[in-house]
């Protein structure tokens, strides 16, 4: 059926949707949730069908913004609209649901259809759930990684390419921002791409963004790395594994993460990484609760690395309280700059030098002490400023980084020693206060585990850019017992 | 945040969606795919969030039609819009994903949130997949049935209430339309609610609709049953188990059916059914491939029936070719009326009398022979006409039922005996020809398994209401080997 395009700037969170008049849909035998293939010239795109009574005229197809990102539709374009037939990749998904193993062809079919937006959200949610329940064998992880690598961009860098990755879960973890300059200062190449926060107060990309642009093109990234040996950019604009973001869009609301290994490893392979340290925060409140779980995951990372030609080592690090004292993009950026100079946040320094040291040992460049010296000598800070400048940021001064002007102190109700801190509650308060969108929002811990506190002394301070968000944060803070003081 | 309602008649296949300006969404910390609670007066509804750049003005909330079905929103209504917090039922879903058993509370929480549209499509797809993979124990089926019964309407009828249900999968299966009048003519009460077709040429509700209204209110159904002892209505308007339709909306596109048992049994319990025959078509092309599979399912139906106070017997019936010769709403209605008079379609007569006979034996009303006599004597046809009239249809004449005027005969390429018929291909042709929406579309089989055929003789005839749909049907018919002639 030939139809006319109408654009309305509608956005559905990545779902490629169109709206048809319900009579046109009926004529094509289409129900809502089914798919059409829309052809404009030589380009095709598959869209999910919503229908409307009178809001959309017959012969018109309203396309959501996501669709126009795939094909440059213009108002009034005449396109061909046809019902979409069954997908081959659906059979591969059914195979996994039955508990069978998938091979490269299966994963490739699925990844291709995910990138083409041919598989709908229900099918992806079903696939993610089946992967989570049945798990992936190492062989399956390899095949999935290959499928993601083969469908993504690749970036080539000169020198010895190394990288680090944290599986996440600890608030305030600004370690990457310290490891990258240490490692780059030592002459290794570390093209670090990071994610933005989804469920935490800040992702590394958010933190860096408080002082420098992070949305760089492949070309710009290459220039930065050529000049400084390192970078701290957002991975989303490089399309190293375009399927990955589309899986994450489904995994996140389901709170399932079965593709962790292929997701991480395919991106590292695509930037030519040879040596990689995986940071696995472990402990109460972290993703891995016990050392045993952490070790099992580490084993799988190493096995997958061997197959892909990446030497992997894993650091099982403490995850029971925030790293450093700051949470929230601006507060964390400020803490990082200060700490590279005064080295006061021992846990941050220790974690960064441990990971950098492991990379140094793997590449024969030294050890943890070497890393420590690079900070102490000021080389790490100098390198960090170089990278920020190369990415287009201006020379950052800790005092100039803007933090939220609405502030509230949460005080101790009794004296004692801090025995525990509930990470998740802190995260919830930060989110209520406005992170990660409000860069100046967040929390500063005045006390950490093991420290003594007097009655009435400040335990932590909430920052917000807007009054009503501060109040939301305070409300949550007052309803919970976040600090265990005994 | 206070916002103004705007309605646009948008329909998203049952998903309760709203569209916010992206800046308003950001202010509330909302991403697309997340949820808001919208409060109008004392009524609350949870909606999924899409966002728009400029198409929706700030301070305005565009609601889809599905939302206005839950609350009577009017243009310009001022409502309160707030982000939705985590759901308790999500924890029950996670429990099932982990492979743990769910209890009544879990199922009830899920069913409640499904009815309130609080769980989104991703979460439901994930739940359905987990149910399919881990299966349901009999205990879980009981609890799920109870949760569905407790949240639905109930209908009370006098007399001995019996029912029949087919798990489906065989095209042309018009048995219910024959069983209901036989059983009602014998004095039993049989308030039969049926579904419309989703993936087949016609559901029983579609077939009946070719000659009588099927969308009746609870009140109207009671009246019909009081008068005639039976009915043949669409179950969708009665809300016997409102959660069920919402599950089916997700199960269908995923082609998974883990809730078959609770779905069937909860509805039967809600109409006060005491004796029930489950028809399990078995064989190549049917849902159950082997007698063993069928027996296992039968055992589970019986066990669930015992717990709910319903005596269940199961009929394992042939499912390898269509029942009778007609497929498609009008063609099937016509065949039924003719067959009640001439009794020529032996397989249809045999199946209907088997099932009615089982109900007679269970209730001490006779047996298969009794059922046969009721047809032969004309009592079944008379009762059928009574029911049609009571539902608001006019006295049906086979010759007056309109079938598609575009017709094409598919002929045999060789002589021999029909050894097999591919049900699924027939279904595909019917759908292409316009069923179930075009009531006059469908297929008439000129030959069935075991019959001899000459070269060039018609194997089957395709009917369509529109020329281009006939052509689509022909195209599929010519690309497949539908009849095995040896």
- The pLDDT, as a whole number, for residue B354 is 98
Q: Worst-scoring range by mean pLDDT, A307-311, B14-18, B75-79? A: B14-18
Per DSSP, A43 falls in state E
Residue A261 in contact with residue A305, Cβ under 8 Å? no
Rounded (10°) CA dihedral A253, A256, A258, A263: 40
Task: Count H helices and E strands in chain B, helices first.
Answer: 18, 19
Omega within 30 of 0 (cis) for the link into A356: no
Name the token pair of A49: 């069908």
SS3 label, residue A257:
coil
Mean pLDDT of B153-180: 95
Which residues 223-252 in chain A show a CB within 8 A of chain B? 249-250
Q: Which residues of A touch B130 (CB under 8 A)?
A: 129, 133
- The pLDDT, as a whole number, for residue A33 is 66
Omega within 30 of 0 (cis) for the link into A341: no
Question: Is A249 in Cβ contact with B133 (below 8 Å)?
Answer: no
Rounded (10°) CA dihedral A453, A456, A462, A465: -150
Distance from CA of A368 to the nearest CA of B (A): 40
Question: Is A33 in Cβ contact with B13 (below 8 Å)?
Answer: yes
User: CA angle, A117 as apex, A115 and A122 as ends, to 5°?
Assistant: 115
Q: Choose among B9, B13, B122: nearest Cβ to A31.
A: B13
Which residues 129-148 in chain B show a CB within 8 A of chain A? 129-130, 132-134
A389 has a chain B CB within 8 A of its CB: no
Q: Pick from B11, B23, B35, B91 the residue to mutate for testing the A interface (most A CBs within 10 Å).
A: B11
B279 has a chain A CB within 8 A of its CB: no
Distance from CA of A18 to the nearest CA of B (A): 10
A395 has a chain B CB within 8 A of its CB: no
Q: Which CATH architecture has domain B162-238+262-398?
A: 3-Layer(aba) Sandwich (3.40)
Q: What is the mean pLDDT of each run of 10 residues along chain A (486 residues)?
A: 87 79 83 82 86 88 85 91 81 96 97 88 95 96 96 95 94 96 98 84 92 95 98 90 88 88 95 98 88 95 96 96 96 96 96 98 98 98 97 91 96 95 92 90 97 97 94 92 92
Mean pLDDT of B175-191: 98
Question: Is A134 in Cβ contact with B129 (below 8 Å)?
Answer: no
Question: Is A126 in Cβ contact with B126 (below 8 Å)?
Answer: yes
A456 has a chain B CB within 8 A of its CB: no
Assigned CATH for A88-135: 1.20.970.10
Question: Is A125 in Cβ contact with B122 (below 8 Å)?
Answer: yes
- The pLDDT, as a whole number, for residue A81 is 93
Name the token pair of B32: 């697309």
- DSSP strand E in B373-433: where? 406-411, 416-421
Confidence category of residue B14, pLDDT binned at 50, 70, 90:
low
Could you give phi then psi for residue A235, rounded to 5 degrees?
A: -80, -15
Cα radius of gyration rounded to whole Å, chain B: 24
Pairing of strands A483-485, A442-445: unpaired
Q: What is the pLDDT of residues B246-305, one digit of tens each?
A: 898 888 888 898 999 999 999 999 999 999 999 999 988 788 999 999 999 999 999 999
Residue B176 in contact with residue B232, Cβ under 8 Å? yes
Pairing of strands B275-282, A2-7: unpaired
Q: Which residues of B touch A31 (CB under 8 A)?
A: 13
CATH topology of domain B2-83: Barwin-like endoglucanases (2.40.40)
Which stretches of A415-458 are DSSP H helices? 423-433
SS3 label, residue A75:
coil
Residue B11 in contact with residue A33, Cβ under 8 Å? no
Say what the pTM is: 0.83
Name the token pair of A106: 């299966």
A187 has a chain B CB within 8 A of its CB: no
Mean pLDDT of B14-43: 83
Confidence category of residue B85, pLDDT binned at 50, 70, 90:
low
Q: Pick from A58, A133, A201 the residue to mutate for testing the B interface (most B CBs within 10 Å).
A: A133
Distance from CA of B442 to the nearest CA of A (A): 14
ipTM over 0.90: no
Could you give phi then psi for residue B100, rounded to 5 degrees?
A: -85, 160
Residue A293 belongs to what H/E stretch?
Answer: helix A291-308
Confidence category of residue B13, pLDDT binned at 50, 70, 90:
low
- The pLDDT, as a whole number, for residue A478 is 93
B256: closest chain A residue by CA: A94
- The pLDDT, as a whole number, for residue A13 is 66
B429 has a chain A CB within 8 A of its CB: no
CA distance A207 to B459: 71
- The pLDDT, as a whole number, for residue A70 is 81
- DSSP strand E in B204-287: where? 230-234, 275-282
Rounded (10°) CA dihedral A462, A468, A469, A473: 50
SS3 label, residue A33:
coil
Q: Which residues of B touch A132 (CB under 8 A)?
A: 97
A55 has a chain B CB within 8 A of its CB: yes
Question: Is B99 in Cβ contact with A133 (below 8 Å)?
Answer: yes
A473 has a chain B CB within 8 A of its CB: no
- The pLDDT, as a whole number, for residue B25 is 86
- In the numeric block, the tokens 């190493």 are attached to A302
Residue B179 pLDDT exceeds 90: yes
Distance from CA of B297 to the nearest CA of A (A): 18
Residue B356 in contact with residue B179, Cβ under 8 Å? yes
- The pLDDT, as a whole number, for residue B376 is 97
B8 has a chain A CB within 8 A of its CB: yes
- DSSP strand E in A64-183: where? 78-83, 162-166
- The pLDDT, as a whole number, for residue B45 is 85
B35: closest chain A residue by CA: A253
CA distance B63 to A254: 24
Q: Which residues of A touch B29 (CB under 8 A)?
A: 431, 434, 437
Mean pLDDT of B148-170: 95
CA atoms within 13 A on the CB side of A234: 19
Question: Is A13 in Cβ contact with B50 (below 8 Å)?
Answer: yes
CA distance A178 to A318: 17
In sequence order, what are the beta bridge partners of B247? none
- The pLDDT, as a whole number, for residue A85 is 65
Name the token pair of B282: 């078995």
Distance from CA of A186 to the nearest CA of B (A): 41
Which is the catalytic residue, given B257, B279, B347, B438?
B257
B22 has a chain A CB within 8 A of its CB: yes
Q: What is the pLDDT of residues A366-375, one digit of tens each?
A: 999 999 999 9
User: CA angle, B382 as apex, B379 and B387 as ends, to 5°?
Assistant: 125
Question: Is A29 in Cβ contact with B437 (below 8 Å)?
Answer: yes
Q: Which residues of A are catalytic?
A: 257
Q: Which residues contact A483 (CB under 8 A, 6 or more apart)?
A: A412, A418, A420, A421, A422, A447, A453, A459, A460
Q: Pick from B23, B28, B92, B125 the residue to mutate for testing the A interface (most A CBs within 10 Å).
A: B125
Q: Where are the domains of chain A?
A: 2-83, 88-135, 162-238+262-398, 403-485
CA distance A32 to B13: 4
CA distance A10 to B102: 39
Could you give phi then psi for residue B127, rounded to 5 degrees?
A: -65, -45
- Please give the class, per CATH, of domain B403-485: alpha beta
Question: Is B134 in Cβ contact with A133 (below 8 Å)?
Answer: yes
Q: Which residues of A touch B473 (CB under 8 A)?
A: none
Selected residue with higher pLDDT from B41 and B189: B189
In sequence order, what are the beta bridge partners of B410? B460
B65 has a chain A CB within 8 A of its CB: yes
CA distance B137 to B102: 9
CA-wise closest residue to A83 among A1, A16, A191, A4: A1
Question: Is B9 in Cβ contact with A55 (below 8 Å)?
Answer: yes
- The pLDDT, as a whole number, for residue A310 is 98
> Percentage of chain B surpassing pLDDT 70?
98
Residue A205 in contact with residue A233, Cβ under 8 Å? yes
Q: Which residues of A touch B120 (CB under 8 A)?
A: 253
Residue B292 in contact with residue B175, Cβ under 8 Å? no
């Amino acid at each position: 059926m030939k139809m006319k395009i109408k654009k309305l700037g509608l956005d559905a969170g990545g779902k490629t949707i169109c709206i048809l008049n319900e009579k046109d849909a009926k004529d094509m035998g289409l129900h809502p949730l089914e798919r059409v293939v829309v052809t404009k010239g030589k380009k095709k795109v598959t869209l999910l069908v919503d229908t409307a009574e009178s809001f959309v005229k017959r012969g018109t197809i309203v396309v959501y913004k996501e669709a126009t990102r795939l094909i440059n539709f213009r108002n009034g374009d005449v396109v061909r609209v046809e019902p979409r037939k069954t997908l081959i990749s659906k059979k591969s998904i059914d195979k996994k649901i039955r508990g069978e193993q998938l091979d490269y062809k299966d994963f490739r079919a699925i990844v291709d259809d995910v990138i083409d937006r041919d598989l709908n959200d229900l099918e992806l949610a079903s696939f993610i759930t089946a992967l989570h329940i049945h798990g992936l064998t190492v062989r399956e992880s390899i095949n999935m990684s290959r499928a993601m690598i083969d469908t993504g961009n690749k970036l080539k860098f000169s020198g010895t390419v190394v990288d680090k990755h944290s599986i996440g879960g600890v608030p305030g973890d600004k370690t990457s921002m310290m490891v990258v300059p240490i490692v780059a200062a030592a002459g290794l190449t570390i093209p670090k791409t990071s994610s933005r926060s989804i469920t935490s107060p800040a992702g590394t990309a958010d933190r860096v963004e408080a002082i420098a642009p992070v949305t760089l093109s492949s070309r710009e990234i290459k220039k930065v790395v050529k000049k400084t040996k390192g970078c701290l950019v957002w991975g989303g604009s490089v399309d190293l594994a375009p399927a990955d973001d589309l899986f994450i869009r489904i995994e996140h609301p389901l709170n399932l993460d079965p593709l962790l290994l292929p997701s991480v490893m395919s991106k590292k392979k695509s930037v030519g990484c040879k040596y990689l340290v995986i940071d696995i925060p472990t402990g109460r409140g972290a993703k891995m609760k016990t050392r045993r779980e952490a070790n099992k995951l580490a084993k799988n990372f190493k096995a997958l690395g061997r197959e892909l030609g990446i030497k992997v080592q894993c650091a099982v690090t403490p995850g029971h309280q925030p790293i450093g004292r700051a949470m929230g993009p601006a507060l964390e950026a400020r803490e990082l700059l200060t700490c590279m100079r005064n080295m006061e946040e021992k846990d941050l320094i220790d974690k960064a030098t441990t990971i950098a040291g492991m990379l140094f040992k793997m590449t024969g460049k030294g050890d943890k002490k070497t890393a420590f010296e690079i900070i102490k000598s000021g080389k790490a800070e100098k390198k960090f400023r170089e990278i920020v400048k190369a990415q287009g940021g201006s020379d950052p001064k800790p005092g100039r980084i803007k933090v939220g002007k609405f502030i509230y102190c949460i005080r101790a109700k009794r004296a004692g020693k801090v025995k525990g801190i509930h990470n998740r509650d802190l995260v919830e308060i930060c989110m209520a206060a406005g992170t990660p969108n409000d860069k100046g929002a967040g929390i500063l811990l005045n006390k950490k585990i093991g420290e003594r506190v007097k009655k009435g002394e400040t335990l932590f301070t909430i920052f917000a850019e807007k009054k009503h968000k501060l109040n939301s944060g305070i409300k949550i803070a007052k309803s919970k017992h976040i600090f265990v003081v005994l």
